[in-house]
Structure 1
Amino acid sequence: MGIGRGVVMARTLNVSNGDKVRTEVLPRAMESAPLVRRLVRGAVEAWELQELAPDAEVITAELVANAVQHARAAAMRVTVRRTGERAVQIAVFDRSRVLPFLKSPAPEEVGGRGLGIVDALAHSWGVDRLPWGKRVWADLVALSAP
């Protein structure tokens, strides 16, 4: 299955409280990561928060990598939401109920650094348990005035 054929939904939503949301459901595969990074970059640039783009892309890649590695369903949802004038939240939803946690890997370990990177770059981050899985999210705040 190619990535283009695996896209279940891609749309921009305007919700009633005026926040803007962009969301996509994609195959739970590393090949989805470039599409998700473009989604996030496009959103922050459209909202004139370009300074968040580099960190937002790295955070998104780490959250997607965790979902790809640890979840079991065929798809995952990625959402980027404007949460304030200078703030966004990136979230990855998957159907695994196993919650991620911040690790301190030894220098010789290959993996286990993803949430450490998210923790270093994000203003805040967390995990919400859902009846069918979880949502792992990260908030980013632009420091400079527009």
Structure 2
Amino acid sequence: MPQPTTRARPTGHPGYSETLPREPESAATARRLVRVALAAWGLDDLAEDGALIVSELVSNAVQHARRGSIRVVIDRPGAARICIGVVDFSKAPPACREPDAGDENGRGLALVGTLARDWGTEPLPWGKRVWAELGGEVRG
């Protein structure tokens, strides 16, 4: 299994990233990566929300993306802010939807929107990056 990579970022804080297989089991690895990064940065208070967010983003990528891998990236754009991103090979942006009461799926992006300070999609030439930011000011 590939090891996570770390590299210096413009903020002076390391970032963490790992390429994972596009399979449901990768959500557990992504949650561990988020928890490791946040513990290293002393931001343990964001760990539970971060773990939930990365689980939802990975689940969406597993369900909707193409190819066999995804990339999870955790950056620290500010002292008390983190950005969690999942990169995949699908150009289709994620869509929020209103699930019916009996639906088992379809609530992930609504949960991300509730937990995150902000979130969005960045198109890439070969796919997209879906990201969510935590910390900083109180979410609204």
Which bracket does the TM-score occupy, shorter chain normalised? over 0.9
For 1:110, the equivalent position in structure 2 comes to 104
Stretches of structure 1 lacking an aligned partner (at least 5 in a row): none
For 1:136, the equivalent position in structure 2 comes to 130
For 2:48, the equivalent position in structure 1 comes to 54
Q: How many Å apart are 1:35 and its aligned residue?
A: 1.0
SS in 1 for 2:101: coil
Q: Distance in 2 between matches of 1:17 and 1:43?
A: 15
SS in 1 for 2:113: helix
For 2:90, the equivalent position in structure 1 comes to 96
Q: Distance in 2 between matches of 1:141 and 1:83?
A: 10
SS in 2 for 1:30: coil
For 2:116, the equivalent position in structure 1 comes to 122
SS in 2 for 1:73: coil
Percent of residue pairs identical: 44
Alignment deviations for residues 91-135 of structure 1 (CA, whole Å, 9 cap, x no partner): 000000111021111111221111011001000000011110000
Q: How many Å apart are 1:142 and its aligned residue?
A: 5.1
For 1:70, the equivalent position in structure 2 comes to 64
The residue type paired with residue 99 of structure 1 is P
Q: What RMSD, in angstroms, separates the aligned Cα atoms of the two structures?
A: 1.5
The residue type paired with residue 86 of structure 2 is V
SS in 2 for 1:80: strand
1:29 equivalent in alignment to 2:23? yes
SS in 2 for 1:76: strand
Tell me: CA distance 1:17–1:49, structure 2 relative to 1, closer, same or farther (3 Å). closer
For 2:14, the equivalent position in structure 1 comes to 20
Give structure 1 regions of 4+ aligned residues with deviation exceeding 4 angstroms. Answer: none
Q: Distance in 2 between matches of 1:108 and 1:35?
A: 29
Q: Distance in 1 between matches of 2:98 and 2:131?
A: 20
> How does the TM-score come out when normalised to structure 1?
0.89
Q: Is the 8 A contact 1:52 1:142 kept in 2?
A: no
> How does the TM-score come out when normalised to structure 2?
0.93
Stretches of structure 2 lacking an aligned partner (at least 5 in a row): none
Count of residues in Structure 1 that have an aligned counterpart in Structure 2: 138
